[in-house]
Structure 1
Amino acid sequence: MKEKFMIGELAKLFNISTDTIRHYDKKGLLKPQCNKDNSYRYYDVRDFFKLSRILFFKSLDISLEDIKNYLHNKNTENLLVLLKKKEKEAHAKVQHWSALENKIKTKIQIIESAQKDLDIVRLKMMPARSGIFLRIKQKDDHYETKKMFSDNKQYIAMSSWLVDGQIYTSLEKEDLEKGIFNKFSYFIELPFAEDILKSDIITLPKGEYACISFLGPYREMHKHYEILIHWISNHGYKITGNSIEKNIVDYDFSDSEEEYISEIQIPVMKIK
């Protein structure tokens, strides 16, 4: 029996638990042999190499079911099929984690940039953005707001893939010019708007936006609208469209209103 491996010996060689080897036995991956004289279960050299292959496939995150299917029909063609399938899955995971990393980095940059530029009016060149505007008649009517979101839940789900993962508040151009800051609508930005056949899709054109970030509660929003509109008028610009309000840090990110960070964006054009 010196050429045989007891389960404990085999486990130590591969630095795994005996429970792991027993689990492979139950799954039909690695069946021990049995000594008829003493009923001891043991593994031979061939099982040693078989276990090494099982652990190799496990290191590639291949499922036990796929490993079992392959071991029951081993050949080069099936090996390539198994590896290429896992390569495709791994590539998808790499893309997912890369996108997640970029999303996190961008959110960090947005917060840190806003903190540096608080209460400073800046002109920003913004890319074209597509989405839908949801207008509500009564801003304090929670039933109407709930129904509106429910009716457009597919677009809200799509919007969550964006970096900010939120729905923007927006004031109409006419209200901005009249100094009315308590009537608003929601703008849901859609990342794949070109694939959606819906007449309500609106594209905010690429262009210059007068922007201001501020720290504090939403009830202070109107004061910063006034500052921004005053700046636009004094610097020879005119408002060309609806505003966008970005809640960079809101009540879902901080329990203190004093830590809320918001940015107002108003599209503008230089008056000739």
Structure 2
Amino acid sequence: MKDKFIIGDMAKLFHVSTDTLRHYDRIDLLKPEHNMQSKYRYYSIRSFFKLSRILFLKNLDISLEEIKTYMNNKNRSNLLSLLRKKEEEIDAKIITLMNLKKKINAKLGLLESINGELDQVKVKRISERIGVFLDMNYIENDFEIIENFKKNKKYLKNSSWLIEGQVYTSLSKENMESGILNKFRYFIEVITLDSQPCKQVKIIPENDYACIAFLGPYRDMGKHYKLLIQWIEDNGYQIVGDSIEKNIVDYDFSDLEHEYISEIQIPIKKL
């Protein structure tokens, strides 16, 4: 037995558990040999090198199923295919992680900078947005709201609302000008469209917006609308479209109303 390894020795040499080696045995990935006289199960020097290759591939995050398939048909071409496939998977993960990092950085930047902008009117140039408006003015209960969302599920799946945790509500231009500040709609911003825009989809063009961010509960929204609308009039602008209300910190991010942060955006142009 001097030229052979028992399971405990093999496990110690490779820093794996004996349970791992028994699992490899069960799935026919690395089977020990049997000494019929002593009844010992042991690993040969060939198994030693095979285990090193298995662990090399496993450390590349290649599945045991893929490793087993390769081990049953080893050649240079299959090895290249196996490694290239894993490289493509890693590249895709890197892109996903980079996009996640961008979203985290954007949210961090917004949360860290917004305190310096609270209760101040600013004019911002905001890029084009594409989306669907869901009118909630005449909906009387939660069932009707749910049904309205179900009708627009094809837009919801591509919405920044679901992907980035952003909720948008909106007031129409006509209601703002008439001082009606409690007839809101939801706005679902669509990131990608499967086809050409249809009748329900509205394109909000790039434009200057008068914006104000404030801290506090939603019931303060009307007060800040009045302040912003008055600023627009006093500074020689006119409202040219529907508002967008952006909830930066809402009840799903904080249980404390005084920590809520909302931003009202109203499209404007000079008179």
- TM > 0.5: yes
Q: Give unpaired runs (5+ residues) of structure 1.
A: none
Tell me by how many angstroms 1:180 deviates. 1.0
TM-score, L = length of structure 1: 0.95
Tell me which stretches of 4 or more aligned residues in structure 1 moved more than 3 Å. Answer: 160-164, 193-197
Superimposed CA distance per residue, residues 85-138 of structure 1 (whole angstroms, 9 cap, x where no aligned partner): 111111111111111111111111122222221101001110100011111232
Tell me by how many angstroms 1:54 deviates. 0.3
Q: Is residue 207–residue 267 contact of structure 1 (8 Å, CA) maintained in 2?
A: yes
Q: Which amino acid aligns with 2:52?
A: S
- Confirm or deny that 1:86 pairs with 2:86: yes
Tell me by how many angstroms 1:201 deviates. 1.1
- Cα distance change on mapping 1:40 and 1:161 into 2, 3 Å: farther
Tell me by how many angstroms 1:162 deviates. 6.9
- The two structures, once aligned, show a CA RMSD in angstroms of 1.5
Tell me how many residue pairs correspond in the alignment.
271
Q: Which amino acid aligns with 1:19?
A: D
Q: Secondary structure at the match of 1:113?
A: helix
Q: Secondary structure at the match of 1:13?
A: helix
Identity %: 55
CA distance in 1 between counterparts of 2:127 and 2:197 reads 21
CA distance in 1 between counterparts of 2:264 and 2:210 reads 8
- Confirm or deny that 1:56 pairs with 2:61: no
Q: Which amino acid aligns with 1:98?
A: M
Superimposed CA distance per residue, residues 120-169 of structure 1 (whole angstroms, 9 cap, x where no aligned partner): 10011101000111112325432321211121122122214776433310
Tell me by how many angstroms 1:177 deviates. 1.0
In structure 2, the partner of 1:187 is: 187
In structure 2, the partner of 1:68 is: 68
In structure 2, the partner of 1:106 is: 106
Q: Is residue 168–residue 247 contact of structure 1 (8 Å, CA) maintained in 2?
A: yes
CA distance in 2 between counterparts of 1:215 and 1:249 reads 9
Q: Secondary structure at the match of 2:268?
A: strand
- Confirm or deny that 1:32 pairs with 2:9: no
Q: Is residue 131–residue 193 contact of structure 1 (8 Å, CA) maintained in 2?
A: no
Q: Is residue 211–residue 263 contact of structure 2 (8 Å, CA) maintained in 1?
A: yes
CA distance in 1 between counterparts of 2:100 and 2:186 reads 26
In structure 2, the partner of 1:5 is: 5
Superimposed CA distance per residue, residues 174-229 of structure 1 (whole angstroms, 9 cap, x where no aligned partner): 11111110111111000013745422111111111100000111000000001111
CA distance in 2 between counterparts of 1:104 and 1:13 reads 42
Q: Is residue 243–residue 265 contact of structure 1 (8 Å, CA) maintained in 2?
A: yes
Superimposed CA distance per residue, residues 229-270 of structure 1 (whole angstroms, 9 cap, x where no aligned partner): 111111111111000000111111111111110000000111
In structure 2, the partner of 1:226 is: 226
CA distance in 1 between counterparts of 2:68 and 2:7 reads 20
- Cα distance change on mapping 1:269 and 1:160 into 2, 3 Å: closer
